[in-house]
Structure 1
Amino acid sequence: MPERTSDSWEYSLSLPNDLRAVPISRRTLRLILTMYGLIHLVDTAELIASELVSNAVLHTKGPAALRVSWSDGVLRIGAWDANPEPPDPPHDVANLTGAENGRGTALVRACADVWGWHPLSRFGRRGKYVWCDLPVA
């Protein structure tokens, strides 16, 4: 399939507060990236989406959403959740060997060119949007 990465596009996936949202997000993201000829980004993108959606589902009681967009050669992956509090600051990935928790934002920071967050309302609910931009090369 030829690459169609010159067009801008965006997909959003609304998610319930359920751990099954994590594999559903990964599979949906894999399908989107494959359809646009961005298969070389799938492994890293799936890791990032898993961490963002896991944090959204584990640390809030409300719904969540995954957003994936492509514009001007930049792949942005983000997750909205119902908790308006900022995400935990990233730890050093080297110090997380064997850690079961606390590695989400560190992995996102390690894999992405840039990342950030901002408060955001969705369907009348307050929350936050945590996002990152992946290197395409």
Structure 2
Amino acid sequence: MGTVSLPDTWVYSLRLPHDPRAARVARMTVRAVLSGHGRGEIRHDVELLASELVTNVYRHSSGPASLRLTALGDGRVRVGVWDRHPHIPAPFGEPPWDRVAVVEGEAEGGRGLRLVQEYADRWGGWPIGDGAWERGAGKLLWFEVGERRRES
């Protein structure tokens, strides 16, 4: 009987409703997937950033979202979050990507996209479709984690 060797590339997708609990479901999913694949060293960063993006979908759009986790085979994990709202916020839009303003200490929000700049190795965003929100278009925001960990 031979041993089974697990692939180093994989993809998981999750459809999330417009629900305040979606960020928690996203965190739990990320935790389970990365722990199951032995990627505990990046779990906390990926969990935090995925949760921030899904929270923004809930706060700034009115429709569902999709979360996709992809192992790229070289130690990096890419996370993509799709929603129907067409606006691509900084730092995901056009360069310079460091346009996320520093938030005042007392503010209740506005730190999530800054965290992407601090903890992700790469990030970006793409418009989906023709930009017509009501026809199911929108955007995909993505980030990658793992490159800095490999270089350390």
TM-score over 0.5 for the pair: yes
Once the two structures are aligned, what percentage of the paired residues are identical?
40
Q: How does 1:19-98 map to 2 (within 5 A)?
A: 19-73=20-74, 74-89=76-91, 90-92=99-101, 95-98=103-106
Q: Secondary structure at the match of 1:14?
A: strand
Structure 1 equivalent of residue 19 of structure 2 = 18
Structure 2 equivalent of residue 128 of structure 1 = 139
Which has the greater radius of gyration? Answer: 2
Task: Give 1:39 deviation, angstroms.
Answer: 1.0
Aligned to 2:110, which of 91, 102, 114? 102
* Greater strand proportion: 1
What TM-score do the two structures reach when normalised by structure 2?
0.78
Structure 1 equivalent of residue 120 of structure 2 = 112
Structure 2 residues not aligned, in runs of 5+: 92-98, 130-134
Structure 1 residues not aligned, in runs of 5+: none
What TM-score do the two structures reach when normalised by structure 1?
0.86
Q: Secondary structure at the match of 2:137?
A: strand
CA contact (8 A) 1:76 1:132 kept: yes
Q: Secondary structure at the match of 1:28?
A: helix
Task: Give 1:135 deviation, angstroms.
Answer: 2.3
Q: Secondary structure at the match of 1:44?
A: helix
Runs of 4+, deviation exceeding 6 Å: none
Counterpart Cα distance in 2 of 1:44 and 1:55: 17
Q: Secondary structure at the match of 1:83?
A: coil
Q: From the superposition, tell whether residues 78 and 96 of structure 1 become closer, same or farther in structure 2 (CA, over 3 Å).
A: farther
Q: Secondary structure at the match of 1:84?
A: coil
Aligned pair count reads 131
Task: Give 1:24 deviation, angstroms.
Answer: 0.5
Which one-letter code corresponds to 1:91 in the other structure? V
